[in-house]
Amino acid sequence: MQKMKLKLDSETFERIRKVSEIGGYSSPEEFVIHIIERELDTLDPTSGESEEDIRRKMEGLGYIE
């Protein structure tokens, strides 16, 4: 498994920590992995969608302009 390091400001990390605790996750990292996987399921390039379709979805979700 590859690892990625993220730098988060204190306020964002605290929000993640609280939400992960409320949601019953074992750690903030587990929660972040879960939400990333969930989002990637909607943007799966192996699903047969074109890159343009994925780009439009990302724009609609506010990830890119």
- pLDDT tens digits along 37-47: 988 888 877 77
Average pLDDT over residues 2-11: 93
Whether 13 shows a pLDDT value over 90: the answer reads yes
Answer with the residue of higher pLDDT: 9 or 45. Answer: 9
Name the pLDDT band for 63 (thresholds 50, 70, 90): confident
Q: One-letter amino acid identity for 9?
A: D
- How much is the pTM? 0.74
For residue 58 the two structure tokens come to 């990302």
- pLDDT tens digits along 45-59: 777 788 888 888 888
For 31, other C-beta atoms within 10 Å of its C-beta total 19
